[in-house]
Chain A
Amino acid sequence: MSDEAQLVSKVLVLDNSPECFKQIKQFCDQNGLIGLKVNSVNVMAVLSTYVDLGAILLSENYHESLADTLDLAQQIHTARPELPIVLRRISTPDLDDLSEKQRKLFCSAYTIDDMSPLRKVIDEYIFSLVYPNALVRGISELTVNTLETLSTLENRFKSLKVITETPYIVRDRIIFGEVCSLIPLESSWCRGYMMLQTEEGGILDVLGYTELTGDGDPATFRTVNNILGELTNLLWGAFKTHFIAVDDPGTQYTSEVPLVINHQHKYISFGSENPQLCFKYILTDENNSHFIPIYQWFVFNLYWSPEDFKEIYASVDDFVDSGELELF
Chain B
Amino acid sequence: MAKILLVDDSSTVRDEVGGFLKKNGLDVITAVDGKDGLNKLKADPGIKLVVSDVNMPNMDGLTMVEKIRSELGNSTVNVIMLTTENNPSMKERGKAAGVKGWIVKPFKGESVVETFKKLSA
Contact = CB atoms under 8 A, between A and B. Distances in A.
Do they bind each other? yes
Interface string B70-85: 0000000000100111
B11 interface: yes
Interface stretch (A41-49, A55-63, A319-327): A319-327
B27 to A, nearest CB: 15
A149 B86 contact: no
Contacts of A230: 10, 12-13
B101 A327 contact: yes
13 contacts: A230-B12, A230-B13, A234-B105, A236-B84, A237-B85, A237-B86, A237-B105, A238-B84, A241-B86, A322-B105, A324-B108, A324-B112, A325-B112
Interface of B: 10-13, 15-16, 18-19, 55, 80, 83-89, 91, 94-95, 99-108, 111-112, 115
A96 interface: no
Interface centre among B86, B87, B107 (most CB of A within 10 A): B86
B68 to A, nearest CB: 16
Given A323-B111, A328-B99, A154 B85 contact: no
Contacts of B18: 214
Contact of B103 (A241, A247, A323): A323
Contacts of A319: 86, 104
Contact of B108 (A154, A234, A237, A323): A323
Given A233-B55, A237-B83, A240-B87, A325 B115 contact: yes
A325 B106 contact: no
Contact of B12 (A229, A236, A247): A229
Interface string A193-222: 000000000000000000001100000001
A152 interface: yes
Nearest to A319: B86
Interface of A: 149, 152-155, 213-214, 222-223, 226-227, 229-230, 233-234, 236-238, 240-241, 246-247, 318-328
B104 A322 contact: yes
A323 B104 CA distance: 5
A318 B89 CA distance: 11
Contact of B106 (A227, A318, A323, A327): A323
Contacts of A226: 10-12, 15
Listed from nearest, the 4 A-B pairs whose CB atoms lie closest are: A237-B84, A323-B108, A214-B15, A226-B12
A26 B94 CA distance: 58
Contacts of B101: 325-328
B111 A327 contact: no
B53 to A, nearest CB: 9
Contacts of B86: 237, 240-241, 319
Contacts of B88: 246, 318
